[in-house]
Amino acid sequence: MKSRLRIIFPIGLFLALFLDGSLSNVFAGSLFKYPYSSVLHLVLLWLIFAVFLDERDDLPVVAWSAFAGLVFDWFYTGVFGVYLIALPLVVYLCRQIKPWLDLNFLTLLMVYIINLTIVEAFVYIWYMISKIVTSNLADFAVYTLGPTIAVNLAIFVILYYPVRQLYLRVD
C-alpha cells in the first residue's frame, strides 16, 4: 500500500503544477482582472495535503517540493531560486508544527492560509530584491494577497474531502 502513494503523490504533484499554468491561462479573464490578481497554488495545496494527511510521514515531500519548485522556476518564470526555496521551506515548517496540531478541517485551513501568505510574501520579497517587482507593500496586500487567499481557500474547501478520502483509501 505504501508504494501506491509513492506513485500517486508525484503524479498528482506534476498534474497540479501544470494545471496551475493551464487554468491560469483559461481563467485569466477572472483571475487576473485588473487591478486584482489571484494566483493559483494547487502545488502548495497538494504538498500540504501530503504532509498532513499522510499518517506515516514516509513520503519524501521535501525533496519532491524542491523538484517541483525547480520546474516551476525553470518553465514558468525563468528566474531560478525562488520557488525552489519557497516550497521546501513551507513543507519543512509544516513538518515542524504537525506534532502540535490537532488535525481537522479548520486547523488545516488555518495552516493553509498561513502557508499561502508565507509563499506569496517570500516570492514578493525575492522578486523585489531582483527588481522584477516594482509595486509597493500595500498594493501587494490588497491586490494580490487578498484575492489569492480567497480563491485558494475556495479550492481548498472543494478538494479537502476528496483528497482525504484518497489518502484514507490508499492507507
Partner 1 sequence: MQKFFSNRKLVIAIIILIISFGLMSVSVAIRDRKSTPPLVQQFGNDVAGAVDRVVALPVNGLQGATNSVSDLLNTYQENQKLKKQVDQLAQAKVNAQTATAENKQLRKELKLNKALTDYTAVTANVLTRTPSSWMNQLVISKGATAGVKKNMPVMSQSGLIGRVVEVNQTNSKVELISNTSSSADKFAIQITNSAGKTVNGIVTGFDKSDNLIEMGSVTSSVKIKKGDKVITSGLGGLTPKGLYVGTVAKVKQDDYGLASEVEIKPAADLTDLTVVTVAEQ
To partner 1, the closest distance from the beta carbon of 141 in angstroms equals 12
Residue closer to partner 1 (CB basis): 76 or 167? 76
Q: How far is the CB of 48 from partner 1 (least distance, A)?
A: 17
Sign of CA dihedral 65, 1, 157, 18: positive
Question: 3-state DSSP call for residue 120?
Answer: helix
Number of neighbours of residue 131 by Cβ within 10 angstroms: 7
Minimum distance between the CB of residue 54 and partner 1, rounded to whole angstroms? Answer: 23
Interface residues toward partner 1, by CB under 8 A: 14-15, 18-26, 28-29, 32-35, 37-41, 71, 73-82, 84-85, 96, 123-124, 126-127, 129-135, 143-144, 148
Nearer to partner 1, 77 or 107 (CB): 77
Angle value at C-alpha 62, between 85 and 154, nearest 5 degrees: 80
Q: What span, in angstroms and rounded, lies between the C-alpha atoms of 122 and 85? A: 9
